[in-house]
Amino acid sequence: MRTALIGYGLGGSAFHAPFLNTTPGLDFSAVVTGNPERATEVRSRYPSVEVLSSVDDVWNGGFDLVVVTTPNRFHHEHARTALEHGLHVVVDKPFSGTSAEARALTELAESNGLTLVPFHNRRWDGDFLTVRRLVADGDLGEVHRFESRFERWRPEPKASWKESGDPADLGSIVFDLGTHLIDQAIALFGRPESVYAEIRALRAGVRADDDAFLALTHGNGVVSHLWAGALTADLGPRFRVLGDKAAYVKFGMDPQEELLKSGATPGEGWGVDAPENWGSLRAGPEETRVPTENGNYPAFYAGVVAAISGGTAPVPPVDAVSGLEVIEAAMRSAATKQVVTLD
């Protein structure tokens, strides 16, 4: 399938291009970027890939699949236009700016018989795959609390649209790291019934929210406590999952992101977590180290190929709709200091 990548910032260069170039069934054919330095990088790393200067060159360019990884404010527009031109689409997070827009995209794809997939690649983090296995196998017993964190120590803000505070930019940390946290909670425990949130901007000169706490109550009684922050001088555990039989505690980040940023190419032995970073299964004084499942970002695009061929999408669009409903509820909760019930 001839594939065009729209955007070649960090997302396009690190999280999409390496997999578009190595996934069987995909022909990585074009990249859209108006940045001369990025265009040079594309030509150097992927000599057979055409560089296009305008997104308009994509719509009637003979492509089968379009990957949208432009700044957040353009995600919905570019995805909608691609679907209107009969193209299958992968959309980086956030899937759209609102749940209503996301619902409209989903309906448009269905009516046109096209595959539309939210890029929620963190479902293939090794530590999350480990949590999923432990929950499914009953090693924790009945889970009652799921704690998940994406915390960073970045006291000096970067000059980018993500810090602008313009609502149209969708620059809030809730749309960024929060999207992954919410999606992982939904993947494990389903769409929540209620949301409580504390969201604020902490760093000097930053107008976009850079600190967030969300509490989601799921229909099965599990409560998800989610943290995202850019001003966290002491990082908490990546996961702390509590059950009536045991708890799983894991520190540190999945290694795939740093591998991709360094220019590594997915291949044999990909996504292996060092033993010193493994998490623990704990019950009082008892503790057992748990080998981390290998991270598997390549599975996402393999799933996209399978979905276009008639299979099931690796991430259902309805989950992205639910995620945006949670974000909207979280914004209302933070503004009113009230728990918000989802319809």
Span 82-117, pLDDT tens digits:
999 999 999 999 999 999 999 999 999 999 999 999
Alpha-helix runs per DSSP H in the chain = 10, 17-20, 36-45, 56-59, 75-84, 99-111, 126-137, 177-189, 256-261, 298-308, 317-336
Query: How does the average pLDDT of the chain come out, rounded?
Result: 96
- Between 171 and 79, the more confident residue is 79
pLDDT value of position 163? 80
pLDDT value of position 205? 84
- Distance, CA of 266 to chain centre: 18
Cβ atoms within 10 A of the Cβ of 169, count?
19
- Residue whose C-alpha is closest to residue 212's, from 180, 176, 174, 157: 174
Q: Per-residue pLDDT for 159 more than 80?
A: no
Alpha-helix runs per DSSP H in 145-207 = 177-189
Q: CA 252 to CA 30: how far, in whole Å? A: 35
pLDDT value of position 306? 98
Domain with CATH 3.30.360.10 in the chain: 122-297+324-341
Topology annotation, domain 122-297+324-341: Dihydrodipicolinate Reductase; domain 2 (3.30.360)
Mean pLDDT of 294-305: 98
Mean pLDDT of 169-194: 96
Model pLDDT for residues 207-245, shown as the tens digit of each residue? 899 999 999 999 999 999 999 999 999 999 999 999 999
Q: CA 170 to CA 248: how far, in whole Å? A: 33
> Checking DSSP bridges between strand 279-283 and strand 247-250, what pairing results, if any?
antiparallel
pLDDT value of position 268? 84
Instruction: Please state which of the four CATH numbers 3.40.50.2300, 3.50.50.60, 4.10.110.10, 3.40.50.720 is assigned to the domain occupying 2-119.
Output: 3.40.50.720
Domain with CATH 3.40.50.720 in the chain: 2-119
- Between 171 and 144, the more confident residue is 144
What is each CA distance from 115 to 190, 202, 237, 312, in whole angstroms? 22, 39, 36, 9
pLDDT value of position 9? 95
pLDDT value of position 218? 98
Q: CA 39 to CA 13: how far, in whole Å? A: 11
Q: Per-residue pLDDT for 166 more than 90?
A: no
Mean pLDDT of 31-55: 97
Q: CA 313 to CA 310: how far, in whole Å? A: 9
Mean pLDDT of 124-142: 98
Mean pLDDT of 11-22: 97
Q: Per-residue pLDDT for 160 more than 90?
A: no
pLDDT value of position 158? 82
